[in-house]
């Protein structure tokens, strides 16, 4: 008996030394039921359920099929999003794992959390992704994972809208999409219609180092938000209808081809920049810019020089290119509209059914170098109708063939030259700065010239009040008696000799990681977006 008791006591002591099996960490709950993985919670969720995040967690990817599910974190005392969901995408490319799929009217609401993934989000018919106060980080590291043929631009993207109607909304969100072989957000190339909606409200969005930011027949609404589509290797945008309003700031900068390519473009009380793109800065069918907006189109069409043959580059047309029948560009009087320093025509309208209405603007230092842009360094009107307010500034542009400042084969009206307009030297005035005194003929066979022997000069004044129809090729220049400015600018200052206009607000691209920069924190503390 003593021996038995001793054995039992020994067993008890051993068992006491063995740690009890602890319950797994619970990362999510629905109601009072808790789950060890987010995927388990999603599988268990019924239509209309809310999954509350209890901790940072991972997911193998999931499908929302025919029901509505909400995944919600919380907000900490310092207003940072609580809990991060990381979608694992380290499996075999093309397997589909790591993706989010919404189909058969499936709807996913994401609230108050951070989502990270290197795969894709796909929406099918009647599905929706609605996000409130989240940070979405999508970084593919240029991995090919669709299994589609090489060179297919519609795959290997981040967010893909396959069958309309679909909807994506970002409300008070911070979204970063980078390093995708395809597009940041795209519509399915095999379906038509404009029932693909992408809405930004009080949000920050960046697409960089992808093929494109937005591709296809999307409705894109930007309301009091910041959108940066920068340094992508294709077009910043390829199609879509844009409404940009309520103090939004939008940058389509330094993309490999066109910057902002749009079907319709409506800019209200906002700032839009298209700077440093390889193709056209902005190319659009119908554009409306209201009086309280700032639009800067600068240093675009880079593909037309520096080792490429502009005659073979059909994509490069202008800084701002209006295209397709019945297209137009309308700029209200009072708008801060500037088209400057582009390596092609400043503005081009390309057929007889298109119109240009400039109520205000500055068109300067654009260079129509050749190919599809060899006429009209400032404005090239190919058979359309152009109405240019007398307040619009147009000078110091150049065209390789004719019409340094304006070339028109359609109807055009414009005013006289400004009292403070100056030719800025080379190649016009032997390196000197001379005062502009009026419009002069600058036709293909008779370019304006005022600095050779009298027999070689071509100085023919043109009265804009008598110009209504074809074959207008003019330059803002001077007659035989050139007047130099007083004081004479210091050599080497660069730029143009003209009063500096009010600068366009500087838009700083935020870092690609982190919820909030120091500057953003300061502005947030001061109540400034």
d(CA 29, CA 38): 9
Q: How confident is the model at residue 523 (pLDDT cuts 50, 70, 90)?
A: low
Which phi and psi (to 5°) does residue 291 adopt? -65, -25
d(CA 69, CA 334): 47
Q: Indicate the Cα dihedral angle 210, 215, 221, 225, nearest 10°.
A: 10
Q: Indicate the Cα dihedral angle 145, 151, 152, 156, nearest 10°.
A: 30
The confidence score (pLDDT) of residue 1 equals 53
The confidence score (pLDDT) of residue 88 equals 87
d(CA 187, CA 205): 18
Q: Select from 24, 57, 23, 63 the least CA-distant residue to 45.
A: 63
Q: Quick check: helix, strand or coil at residue 498?
A: coil
Judging by beta carbons within 10 Å of its beta carbon (0-12, 13-18, 19+), is residue 261 exposed, middle or buried? Answer: buried
Tens digit of each residue's pLDDT (9 = 90 or more) over 384-407: 999 999 999 999 999 999 999 999
b/e sequence 389-416, b meaning 16+ C-beta within 10 Å: eeebbbbbbbbebbbbbbbbbbbbebee
Please, are residues 120 and 99 in contact by the beta-carbon 8 Å criterion? Answer: yes
31 CB-near residues (< 8 Å, 6+ apart): none
Q: Select from 265, 264, 231 the least CA-distant residue to 248.
A: 265
How far from chain centre, in Å, is Cα 267?
A: 13
Q: What average pLDDT does range 176-183 have in this prediction?
A: 95
Q: For residue 281, is pLDDT > 70?
A: yes
The confidence score (pLDDT) of residue 242 equals 97
String of DSSP letters for 9-43: HHHHHHHHHSPP-PPPPP-EEETTEEESSHHHHHH
H or E element that contains 8: helix 2-17
Query: Would you state the structure tokens that stand for residue 173, as one six-digit string?
Result: 């969100």
Q: For residue 510, is pLDDT > 70?
A: no
Residue with tokens 């593909």: 303
Please, are residues 252 and 277 in contact by the beta-carbon 8 Å criterion? Answer: yes
| Chain mean pLDDT for the chain | 86
Please tell me which residue, 400 or 15, carries the higher pLDDT value.
400
The confidence score (pLDDT) of residue 491 equals 47
| pLDDT over 70, % of the chain | 80
The confidence score (pLDDT) of residue 144 equals 78
Report how far apart, in Å, the C-alpha atoms of 351 and of each of 149, 354, 383 are: 37, 6, 5
The confidence score (pLDDT) of residue 502 equals 41
b/e sequence 119-140, b meaning 16+ C-beta within 10 Å: bbbbbbbbbbbbbbbbbbbbbb
Q: Which of the listed ranges 7-21, 145-159, 296-310, 331-345 does the model predict with the highest average pLDDT?
A: 331-345
Tens digit of each residue's pLDDT (9 = 90 or more) over 96-138: 677 999 999 999 999 999 999 999 999 998 999 999 999 999 9
Please, are residues 182 and 129 in contact by the beta-carbon 8 Å criterion? Answer: no
Q: For residue 493, is pLDDT > 80?
A: no
Q: How many alpha carbons fall within 13 Å on the CB side of residue 313? A: 24
Query: Would you state the structure tokens that stand for residue 127, as one six-digit string?
Result: 């599905």
The DSSP 8-state label assigned to residue 426 in this structure reads: T
Please, are residues 184 and 238 in contact by the beta-carbon 8 Å criterion? Answer: no
Q: Quick check: helix, strand or coil at residue 347?
A: strand
The confidence score (pLDDT) of residue 305 equals 47
d(CA 518, CA 167): 33
Provide the greatest CA pair distance for the chain: 135
Tens digit of each residue's pLDDT (9 = 90 or more) over 18-60: 443 335 789 999 999 999 999 999 999 999 999 999 999 999 9
Tens digit of each residue's pLDDT (9 = 90 or more) over 188-203: 765 555 578 999 999 9
Query: Would you state the structure tokens that stand for residue 463, as one six-digit string?
Result: 């009265």
The confidence score (pLDDT) of residue 377 equals 97
d(CA 419, CA 438): 9
Q: What average pLDDT does range 143-151 have in this prediction?
A: 70
Q: For the chain, how big is the Rg over CA atoms in Å? A: 30
Q: What angle do CA 430, 435, 437 make, to 5 degrees?
A: 120
Query: Would you state the structure tokens that stand for residue 412, as one six-digit string?
Result: 């055009």
Please, are residues 158 and 180 in contact by the beta-carbon 8 Å criterion? Answer: yes
| pLDDT over 90, % of the chain | 67
The confidence score (pLDDT) of residue 151 equals 62
Tens digit of each residue's pLDDT (9 = 90 or more) over 309-367: 544 455 689 999 999 999 999 999 999 999 999 999 999 999 999 999 999 999 999 99
Query: Would you state the structure tokens that stand for residue 454, as one six-digit string?
Result: 């009298």
Q: How confident is the model at residue 507 (pLDDT cuts 50, 70, 90)?
A: very low
Please tell me which residue, 310 or 74, carries the higher pLDDT value.
74
Please tell me which residue, 186 or 5, carries the higher pLDDT value.
186
Report how far apart, in Å, the C-alpha atoms of 10 and of each of 1, 2, 19, 21, 259 are: 14, 12, 16, 21, 78
Please tell me which residue, 387 or 217, carries the higher pLDDT value.
387
Q: Select from 135, 136, 143, 103 the least CA-distant residue to 119.
A: 143
Please tell me which residue, 250 or 190, carries the higher pLDDT value.
250
Q: For residue 525, is pLDDT > 90?
A: no
Please, are residues 218 and 195 in contact by the beta-carbon 8 Å criterion? Answer: no
pTM over 0.85, yes/no: yes
d(CA 457, CA 481): 12
């Amino acid at each position: 008996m003593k021996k038995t008791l001793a054995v039992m006591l020994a067993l008890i002591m051993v068992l006491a030394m063995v740690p009890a099996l602890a319950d797994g960490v619970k990362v999510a709950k629905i109601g009072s039921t808790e789950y060890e993985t987010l995927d388990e919670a999603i599988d268990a969720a019924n239509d209309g359920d809310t999954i509350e995040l209890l901790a940072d967690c991972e997911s193998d990817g999931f499908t929302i099929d025919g029901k509505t599910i909400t995944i919600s974190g919380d907000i900490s005392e310092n207003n940072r999003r609580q809990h991060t969901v990381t979608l694992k995408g380290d499996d075999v490319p093309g397997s589909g794992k790591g993706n989010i799929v919404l189909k058969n009217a499936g709807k996913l609401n994401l609230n108050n959390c951070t989502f990270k993934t290197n795969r894709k989000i796909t929406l099918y018919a009647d599905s929706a992704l609605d996000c409130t106060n989240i940070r979405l980080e999508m970084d593919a590291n240029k991995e090919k994972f669709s299994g589609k043929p090489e060179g297919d631009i519609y795959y290997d993207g981040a967010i893909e809208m396959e069958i309309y109607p679909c909807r994506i909304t970002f409300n008070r969100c911070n979204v970063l999409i980078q390093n995708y072989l395809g597009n940041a957000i795209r519509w399915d190339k095999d379906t038509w219609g404009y029932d693909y909606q992408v809405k930004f409200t009080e949000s920050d969005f960046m697409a960089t180092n992808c093929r494109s930011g937005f591709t296809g027949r999307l409705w894109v609404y930007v309301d009091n938000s910041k959108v940066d589509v920068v340094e992508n290797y294709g077009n910043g945008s390829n199609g879509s209808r844009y409404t940009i309003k309520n103090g939004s700031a939008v940058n389509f900068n330094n993309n490999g081809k066109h910057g902002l390519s749009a079907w319709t473009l409506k800019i209200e009380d906002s700032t839009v920049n298209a700077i440093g793109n390889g193709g056209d800065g902005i190319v659009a069918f119908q554009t409306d810019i209201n009086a309280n907006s700032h639009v800067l189109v600068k240093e675009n069409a880079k593909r037309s020089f520096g080792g490429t043959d502009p005659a073979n580059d059909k994509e490069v047309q202008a800084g701002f290119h209006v295209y397709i029948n019945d297209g137009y560009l309308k700029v209200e009087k009072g708008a801060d509209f500037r088209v400057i320093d582009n390596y092609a025509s400043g503005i081009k309208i390309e057929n007889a059914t298109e119109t240009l209405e400039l109520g205000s603007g500055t068109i300067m230092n654009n260079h129509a170098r050749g190919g599809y842009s060899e006429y009209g360094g400032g404005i090239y009107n190919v058979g359309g109708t152009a109405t240019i307010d007398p307040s619009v500034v147009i000078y110091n542009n150049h065209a390789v063939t004719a019409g340094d400042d304006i070339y028109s084969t359609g109807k055009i009206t414009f005013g006289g030259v400004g009292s403070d307009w100056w030719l800025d030297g080379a190649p016009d005035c032997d390196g000197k700065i001379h005062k502009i005194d009026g419009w002069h003929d600058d036709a293909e066979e008779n370019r304006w010239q005022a600095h050779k022997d009298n027999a070689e000069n071509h100085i023919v004044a043109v009265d804009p009040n008598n110009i209504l129809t074809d074959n207008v090729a003019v330059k803002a220049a001077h007659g035989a008696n050139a007047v130099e400015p007083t004081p004479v600018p210091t050599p080497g200052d660069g730029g143009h000799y003209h009063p500096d206009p009010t600068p366009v607000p500087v838009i700083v691209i935020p870092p690609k990681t982190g919820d909030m920069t120091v500057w953003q924190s300061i502005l947030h503390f001061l109540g400034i977006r």
